[in-house]
Structures are given as structure tokens and as C-alpha cells.
Amino acid sequence: MPDLLTHALVAYTLAVGLSLRYRWLTPPYVTVAMMGAFTPDLTKIRLLVPSWQMEAWLGVPFEWGALHTVGGTLVSVLIGVAVVRHTDRRRVFGLLAVGAGSHLALDSLLAFPAGRMKFVLWPLTTYRPVFDGLFLSTDRWPVVVAAALAASAWYLRYHRPDTDA
């Protein structure tokens, strides 16, 4: 799955870039941002438990695809924030949101046969702008670009010569 790896690498690059500015952003927090990049893809749970089964269990309309929108991702991020210490909640919220936001931003660049952007902006809007897209989820070049950016960020953060002396 080149797209899942791409999402993780882009979140890593953003978090490491932010760590140059914020010294508290240590490697465990970088991992939190990478975890945030996976939250929109929680919709893959439908492979194990289909939406109709959840509807039957809950007794209310249910669709896993809603997790791959701004609103559903926000709910996922808030659940992630609820399971950490009170003192870390603001940082974890921000980093999960950075990762999830980068995921949704990259997915909005995907090409679809209908020629419209993916439906990710709910509940803000149901409008899907006309957009031909930049790449397919099966393309290999985005993961190569993301890997090069992540390697550059890693080198700049952890192996560049110390210029403070």
C-alpha cells in the first residue's frame, strides 16, 4: 500500500520540521503525528465489520466512510486525545491533527474518474470541487518523493553539524 506509507512519511516530515522549532517535539511525539496520519484510514475496519453489521448492532444508521472526512477525523482525534495524560492533551491533539490533516490534504489531490475531489470536507460542506487530481493511490512516485523528503528532514534534524557552538 504505497499510499499508507506516503501518509506516514509526510506526517513524519511535517513533525520533524516542527521539531526544529519546538524542542519539546521529541521522537515519541513525532510518532503521534504519524499515528494521526492513519486515523482517516480507520474506515478500513469495514473489511472486518461491514457498515450494515454496525447498523444492526447499534440500531442507528452507520457508515464507516464518515471517518474519512473532516468531521469523522476530528472525532477520531478527540478519542485519541482522551486516552493520554491530561498534561499531554494539547500537544497530542495538535500532532494528531497535523497527521490527519496531512492525510486528508493528500487524499484531496487524488484523481478520480468522475473528475471531482474526494468527499472529505463534511460537515463543513458537501461540495466536491471539480479537480482532475495529481496522482492515483496506486502510483509509486508519491512515496518516492515522500521518502526523499522524510530522509532529508531526518538528516537535517538529527545529523546536521551543530551550528550553535
| pLDDT tens-digit map of 29-85 | 999 999 999 999 999 999 999 999 999 999 999 999 889 999 999 999 999 999 999
Model pLDDT, residue 163: 53
Confidence of residue 151 (pLDDT cuts 50, 70, 90): very high
Q: Residue 146: is its pLDDT beyond 70?
A: yes
Give whole-number Cα distances, 4 to 35, 105, 157, 163, in Å. 11, 13, 23, 35
**11-29 pLDDT, tens digit each:** 999 999 999 999 999 999 9
Q: Which amino acid makes up residue 8? A: A
Q: Mean pLDDT, to the nearest integer, of 149-159? A: 93
Name the more confident of 136 and 102. Answer: 102
Average pLDDT over all residues of the chain:
90
Residue 88 CA to residue 12 CA, distance in Å, equals 19
Task: Identify which has the larger pLDDT, 115 or 104.
Answer: 104
pLDDT confidence of residue 89: 97
d(CA 55, CA 120): 22
Regarding predicted confidence, which is higher, 152 or 131?
Answer: 152
Burial level of 73, CB count in 10 A (0-12/13-18/19+)? buried
